[in-house]
Amino acid sequence: MTPTYYLVLSALLFSIGAVGVLVRRNAIVVFMCIELMLNAVNLTLITFGRINGGIEGQVMAFFVMVVAAAEVVVGLAIIMAIFRTRRSASIDDTNLLKY
Amino acid sequence: MPTSSMFLAQQPGQAPDVDYVAILPVLIIFGAAALGVLLEALLPRNQRWSVQVGLTLVTIVGAGLAFGYYLSDAPENGTTTLAGTLSIDQPALFLWGTLLALGFGAVLLIADRTVEPGGAFVAEAAIRPGTIQDRAQVGSASMQTEVFPLTLFALGGMMTFTAANDLLTMFIALEVLSLPLYLMCGLARRRRLLSQESAVKYFLLGAFASAFFLYGLALLYGYAGSVKLADIANAAAGTDRSDALLFGGLALLVVGLLFKGSVGPFHAWTPDVYQGAPTPVTAFMAACTKVAAFGGMLRVLTVAFESTSWEWRGVLWAVAIASMVIGAVLGLTQTDVKRMIAYSSIAHAGFLLIGTIALTDQGLSGTMFYLLAYGFTTLAAFGVVSLVRDSTGEATHLSQWAGLAKRSPLVAWTFTFLLLALAGIPMTSGFIGKFVVFSAALQDGMAPLVVIALVASAVAAFFYLRVIVLMHFSEPAEDGPTVSVPGAFTTAAITMGVAVTLLLGVLPAFALDWASGGGFAS
């Protein structure tokens, strides 16, 4: 099986995540879509690591996982704070700042 | 196809050599940031503010001393350390100095408690806005002192970002500088709904942009087999590889960087976040994040992609034009001071991008000088914004600024001077900054871009002048805002910003010489 399939799969996953960020309205779901994008990148990194024959790609995937975990901590804290105030996680409701 | 035995056959990696003296400033900042988090857990609440402020200021001064010591006999052509992941060269050193100075000023603004009892930050972030506890915290004298370690983490991330010599280090530094900023945006004492909303927007869009940066990194890794900037440059010099990977990767990478620099079409977060965040945090973001983002962009484009510049330069021309036009035109319609300065920062990002894509020595030194000049001016401008207040907090609506010169001539004249510097009037640093950037662009054959930039500057000058006219030639409203008398911290920060803005406008030679000290080492 050629590694190209994995690259196509990861590109698809990344696109699904990006479209999800743009069309979904719940902050948690938007955030999950961003995580999907990061994991698509992990798949790309590992595939290229396999093609290049080194461990560098896998090591980078670990770094990405750590960063994604840190991002979850910060992101959920912010989303929780705004949810407790408004009783809603919809990003359409957060519309006080404009023009 | 490599097998798993190949992985096992690899030697255990040797620990890389570390040039501790060169990276000492960054180590001091990160060490003190970690210490600050510990102190937050150990100290009783009433001692935290004084200890954290003292620690943070001493840390930045200490890092500045370590930086000065290294600078006094730094190698002419720079050095790389930590197995080539950090490049401590002349541009990195210039930007480190700029970041430390701007960070010091921003910490002074963050620490101020005289303008408002307890400072600009919420007493306890977990209190729900609109509740009884929230009304009590507005009048209380305590603040969430985690702001100080968070500032140090962000500052350390920015310094690492400007010196990062491979894309992975750059990505980690990008996150280390962004994550604390997301939190700090949501910590305003008053108007907490706006503040929290700006944090959510900044976080979601920022994470979205870093995902793009990361996918660009992955594609370039596939292209070059390495994420080191020098290896990518070498791979791009050969022709037998997939251009789709190279330019796809470059495009995604640059989108992530442009987002952080609040350039052009990727600016959507900037006005909302600048308006909603506590003003000292806005000052920190506007001054320091821009330095870091453009420092990183200069390094990536110059070191890794110079050989392919004729392929991507046209796109960045369009981005620079978009940024200048969006900033200048939408800035005209703003009625809020903080939003107006946000659009001004988008226009300035366009000017900075012109210097960045020149890819010459003049372009490099001009852009770095512009970053230094713009950082101090905008820091002082947000310092002044935090002084004009009414009973609900800062009075940021432009109509409330009418006739300010009659209430407080000193503050009005200070703000006038800063706005003139942002507009680029001679005798201010803004003029010299624009002059060096535009002349670098002209020498590099970008005359049409310079003409558009001059028109954009003229349009932008109109909305600065509108505020000046409003402050000096209008009658103050009956129930208008009062101008608080700033304490020592805010006074020091504003004075520093104004002094540097004037000094760089009159005697720019010293900073220009330093900025043109040398190119990137990789």
Q: What's the CA gap between B323 and B345, in Å, rounded?
A: 10
Q: Which residue has the higher pLDDT, B199 or B239?
A: B199
Q: Among A18, A77, A85, select the one facing B128 at the smallest CB separation.
A: A85
Give yes or no for A75 touching B (CB within 8 A). yes
Reading the block at residue B92, the tokens are 């990195």
Q: Are B460 and B344 in contact (CB under 8 A)?
A: yes
What residues of chain B, 406 to 465, have a C-beta less than 8 Å from chain A?
Answer: none
Inter-chain residue contact B227 with A60, CB threshold 8 Å? yes
In whole angstroms, what separates CA B483 from the centre of its chain? 27
Give yes or no for B217 touching A (CB within 8 A). yes
Residue B204: list chain A partners with CB under 8 A.
21, 27, 30-31, 34, 75, 91
Residue B391 has pLDDT above 90, yes or no: no
Reading the block at residue A69, the tokens are 């975990």
Residue B59 has what pLDDT?
Answer: 97
Question: Residue B223: is it exposed, middle or buried by C-beta count within 10 angstroms (0-12/13-18/19+)?
Answer: buried
Residue A39: list chain B partners with CB under 8 A.
none
Reported as a single tens digit per residue, the pLDDT across B82-117 is 888 999 999 999 999 999 999 999 999 999 988 888
Give yes or no for A20 touching B (CB within 8 A). no
Domain ranges, residue B408: 17-515
Round the average pLDDT of chain A to a whole number and report it.
Answer: 90
Q: What is the DSSP string of B295-333?
A: HHHHHIIIIIHGGGHHHHHHHHHHHHHHHHHHHHHHHHT
First and final CA of chain B: distance in angstroms?
A: 31
Residue B73 has what pLDDT?
Answer: 85
| Residue among B11, B153, B221 with most chain A CBs within 10 A, to mutate | B221
Establish how many alpha carbons lie within 13 A of residue B382's alpha carbon, considering only the half-sphere containing its beta carbon. Answer: 32
Q: Is the ipTM of this complex over 0.90?
A: yes
In what helix (H) or strand (E) does residue B82 lie, and over which residues does it extend?
none
Inter-chain residue contact A31 with B204, CB threshold 8 Å? yes
Label residue A52 by pLDDT band (50, 70, 90).
Answer: confident
Give yes or no for B194 touching A (CB within 8 A). yes
Reported as a single tens digit per residue, the pLDDT across B421-476 is 999 999 999 999 999 999 999 999 999 999 999 999 999 999 899 999 999 998 88
Label residue B3 by pLDDT band (50, 70, 90).
Answer: very low
How far CA B473 is from CA of B402, B412, B418, B467, in Å, comes to 8, 11, 18, 10
Q: Are B515 and B373 in contact (CB under 8 A)?
A: no
Label residue B320 by pLDDT band (50, 70, 90).
Answer: very high
Reported as a single tens digit per residue, the pLDDT across B10-69 is 455 678 888 999 999 999 999 999 999 999 999 998 899 999 999 999 999 999 999 999
Residue B9 has what pLDDT?
Answer: 44
Q: What is the DSSP letter of B43?
A: S
Residue B218: list chain A partners with CB under 8 A.
41, 44-45, 48, 60
Q: What are phi and psi of B81, to 5 degrees?
A: -140, 175
B522 in a structural domain:
no
Label residue A99 by pLDDT band (50, 70, 90).
Answer: low
Residue B486 has what pLDDT?
Answer: 87
Reported as a single tens digit per residue, the pLDDT across B257-276 is 999 999 989 999 999 999 99
Cα dihedral B44, B50, B52, B58, rounded to 10, equals: -150
Chain A and chain B share a number of CB contacts under 8 A equal to: 127
First and final CA of chain A: distance in angstroms?
A: 53
Residues paired with residue B188 on neighbouring β-strands, in sequence order = B121
Q: What's the CA gap between A3 and B430, in Å, rounded?
A: 52
- SS3 of B441-456: the string is HHHCCCHHHHHHHHHH
Residue B367 has what pLDDT?
Answer: 96
Q: What is the DSSP letter of A63?
A: H
B6 in a structural domain:
no
**Residue B315: which of B269, B370, B247 has the closest Cα?**
B247
* Closest residue on chain A to B224 (Cα): A52
Q: Are B18 and B82 in contact (CB under 8 A)?
A: yes
Q: What's the CA gap between A49 and B4, in Å, rounded?
A: 12
Q: Are B381 and B462 in contact (CB under 8 A)?
A: no
Q: Please, which residues have CB within 8 angstroms of residue B452's CB and are 6 or more apart in sequence? A: B321, B324, B325
Question: Residue B143: is it exposed, middle or buried by C-beta count within 10 angstroms (0-12/13-18/19+)?
Answer: buried
What residues of chain B, 227 to 256, have a C-beta less than 8 Å from chain A?
Answer: 227
3-state secondary structure of B382: helix
Q: Are B26 and B160 in contact (CB under 8 A)?
A: yes
* Arithmetic mean of pLDDT, B303-325: 93
B4 in a structural domain:
no
Give yes or no for B171 touching A (CB within 8 A). yes
B2 in a structural domain:
no
Q: What's the CA gap between B462 and B329, in Å, rounded?
A: 10
The type of residue at B444 is D
Inter-chain residue contact B207 with A71, CB threshold 8 Å? yes
Q: What is the DSSP letter of B87?
A: E
Q: Which long-range contacts (CB under 8 A, 24 or more apart) does B365-368 make?
A: B365/B436, B365/B440, B365/B512, B365/B515, B365/B516, B366/B433, B366/B436, B366/B437, B366/B439, B366/B440, B366/B515, B367/B294, B367/B298, B367/B437, B367/B440, B368/B91, B368/B94, B368/B95, B368/B98, B368/B295, B368/B298, B368/B515
Q: What's the CA gap between B185 and B49, in Å, rounded?
A: 19
Residue B11 has what pLDDT?
Answer: 56
Give yes or no for A70 touching B (CB within 8 A). yes
Q: What's the CA gap between B395 and B386, in Å, rounded?
A: 8
B3 in a structural domain:
no
Inter-chain residue contact B225 with A52, CB threshold 8 Å? yes
Inter-chain residue contact B207 with A55, CB threshold 8 Å? no
Residue B13 has what pLDDT?
Answer: 65
Inter-chain residue contact B6 with A53, CB threshold 8 Å? yes
Reading the block at residue A42, the tokens are 């992990």
| Residue among A41, A43, A55 with most chain B CBs within 10 A, to mutate | A41
pTM of the model: 0.94
Reported as a single tens digit per residue, the pLDDT across B136-184 is 888 888 888 999 999 999 999 999 999 999 999 999 999 999 999 999 9
B7 in a structural domain:
no
B521 in a structural domain:
no
What residues of chain A, 26 to 45, have a C-beta less than 8 Å from chain B?
Answer: 27, 30-31, 34, 37-38, 40-41, 44-45
Inter-chain residue contact B214 with A41, CB threshold 8 Å? yes
Residues paired with residue B384 on neighbouring β-strands, in sequence order = none
Give yes or no for B226 touching A (CB within 8 A). yes
Inter-chain residue contact B193 with A52, CB threshold 8 Å? no
Q: What's the CA gap between B475 and B478, in Å, rounded?
A: 9
Residue B12 has what pLDDT?
Answer: 59
Given strand B482-483, what is the order of strands in its sheet? Answer: B393-394, B388-390, B482-483
B500 in a structural domain:
yes
Structurally, chain B folds into a number of domains equal to 1
How far CA A65 is from CA of A50, A60, A69, B172, B207, in Å, comes to 18, 9, 6, 11, 14
Give yes or no for B208 touching A (CB within 8 A). yes
